[in-house]
Amino acid sequence: MSVVGITTPTKAFSHATGQSFIALLPTGPYIALGVLIVALSLMLVWFLPSQVPYKLFKKINLIEFRINSSTQEISSFISFLFVVWGIQTGLNGTRDPLENPLTLGFWVAFWMAAPMIQGYLFNLWGWISPWQWAVKPLTILLSRPWLKLPDQAGILPAVAILLMFSAFTLADPAPDDPARLASVLTVYMTMTFSGMVVFGPERWLERVEFFSVMMVQLKRLAVFAQRGDKLCAGWLGWQFKDNIKIFRGISIFILVLLGTGSFDGLNETFFWFDQIGVNPLDFPGRSAVVIPVVIGLLSANLILIGLFIIMITIGNRLASGHLNTTTLLNAFAPTVLPIALAYHTAHYLPSLLVEGQYVLLALNDPLGNGFNLLGLDGFYVTTGFFNHRETVRLIWLSQAFVITLGHVISVILAHLESVRIYGDSVRAVYAGLPVAIFMVLYTWLGLWLLAAPKIS
């Protein structure tokens, strides 16, 4: 998950001019307003009767709705075939990352857009996971796994792979080179299927395959979901406590999602370049900063996890609680999911506006033989909205809105968790206070990152 920048694959389109216009916007007052909104929401949940926030997350039954699981399995298998075709085009298709279906499909349609659909709307992953189709056949074929994943490891293998993937995304010199991406995905697909065979398909997908782990977490926030034979809806986060298996280390995974996203935003700011002694106007290229970026990525995550543990521990003391760190982390860390999703969304919004156009052009003529399926023949990709103050303002405010909203939801969820584990509202306020302050400051950080001069 990440926030804004050229340091993400296929990004780079946020025009320098967009940055120039942001510099002219009154971002100071905008940031102050965003922080104030989060702080006020916090006070509101403190002082409102405790059942009010619960009412906010009440579900509404919409219509009769039933999905046959085999439909999703067929869809998952088609997704698998798409991935295989994508890898083939990555190896043999056009070398241009903005025309190659693999680069566009993986980085833009999947990595940028799919988490947003998953987190805001519905469980898309249930349809597009390229592995889910194999779970049933493998379970039938292999009555029990050849090897057992050690329970002690919990979900930490997924954390390690998430960090490796983040390093590939942020530090590798050419993650959007189609052939390079195809090779990485081939290795990962092979590893995943092998892992599913050796350790059991469900266990591997639940605890090692990090896309699945991430998507299962994001699903907790979505507005729409199937419950029984009904399609239900509710405010972002209404499913937060539903049907969630807790694995050891899941809180670390969630914090790493946020830490990585935060570092991605920082990674392209002039502030960061000052720290690593690079002139951003004379940026020597990603290959020149691999080591600082990897160190920054790891440090940012360690700092975030450390700070978070300190905050929840102080909160526990303030409430005179005797809960251990694991219990506290399992309660509070998931409440940062809306912030992580907000960072991801705000970060990739400008990219999606531009690279989404390349995706549409690719769909217009998917086989490169002159089709004009969407009638886009002769259309040129535009970045004109980065060249004008009002459109730049609109984009910036949309990003700021997403960041602020994410924090507001996190603040409410954190308070509800605090009430749940401490039992009464007063102790919950004390216990949640440090995390709440942390989230208010994180709002400032997120908005500051949006406004800061950068080289995107």
Binding residues vs another protein (CB under 8 A): 6, 9-13, 15-17, 19-24, 94-99, 173-174, 176-177, 270, 273-274, 279-288, 378-385, 387-389, 391, 453-455
Q: Cβ closer to another protein: 8 or 123? A: 8
Least spacing, CB of residue 3 vs another protein, in Å: 17
For residue 103, count CB atoms less than 10 angstroms from its CB and return exposed for 0-12, middle for 13-18, buried for 19 or more.
buried
By DSSP bridging, strand 60-64 and strand 230-233 are: antiparallel
For residue 144, count CB atoms less than 10 angstroms from its CB and return exposed for 0-12, middle for 13-18, buried for 19 or more.
exposed
Q: Cβ closer to another protein: 77 or 270? A: 270
Least spacing, CB of residue 270 vs another protein, in Å: 4
Q: Cβ closer to another protein: 55 or 388? A: 388
Burial string for 39-61 (b: 16+ CB within 10 Å, else e) reads bebbeebbeeeeeebeebbeeee
Least spacing, CB of residue 355 vs another protein, in Å: 10
Asked if 207 contacts 162 with a C-beta cutoff of 8 angstroms, the reply is no
Least spacing, CB of residue 365 vs another protein, in Å: 14
By DSSP bridging, strand 224-227 and strand 230-233 are: antiparallel
Least spacing, CB of residue 310 vs another protein, in Å: 32
Q: Cβ closer to another protein: 246 or 288? A: 288
Asked if 104 contacts 381 with a C-beta cutoff of 8 angstroms, the reply is no
**Sign of the C-alpha dihedral computed for residues 347, 350, 355 and 361 taken in this order:** positive
Q: Cβ closer to another protein: 224 or 283? A: 283
Amino acid of residue 161: I
Least spacing, CB of residue 375 vs another protein, in Å: 13
For the chain, give me the number of helices (H) and strands (E)? 19, 3
Q: Cβ closer to another protein: 101 or 315? A: 101
Per the listing, tokens 């004379």 go with 282
Asked if 297 contacts 163 with a C-beta cutoff of 8 angstroms, the reply is yes
CA 360 to chain centre: 23
Q: Cβ closer to another protein: 49 or 375? A: 375
Least spacing, CB of residue 179 vs another protein, in Å: 9
Asked if 53 contacts 415 with a C-beta cutoff of 8 angstroms, the reply is yes
Phi-psi region of 375 (alpha: psi -120 to 50; beta: other; left: phi over 0): left
Least spacing, CB of residue 391 vs another protein, in Å: 8
Q: Cβ closer to another protein: 49 or 378? A: 378
150: tokens are 């050690």
Around Cβ 410, how many Cβ atoms within 10 Å?
Answer: 30
Could you give phi then psi for residue 143, rounded to 5 degrees?
Answer: -60, -35
Q: Cβ closer to another protein: 61 or 88? A: 88
Least spacing, CB of residue 279 vs another protein, in Å: 5
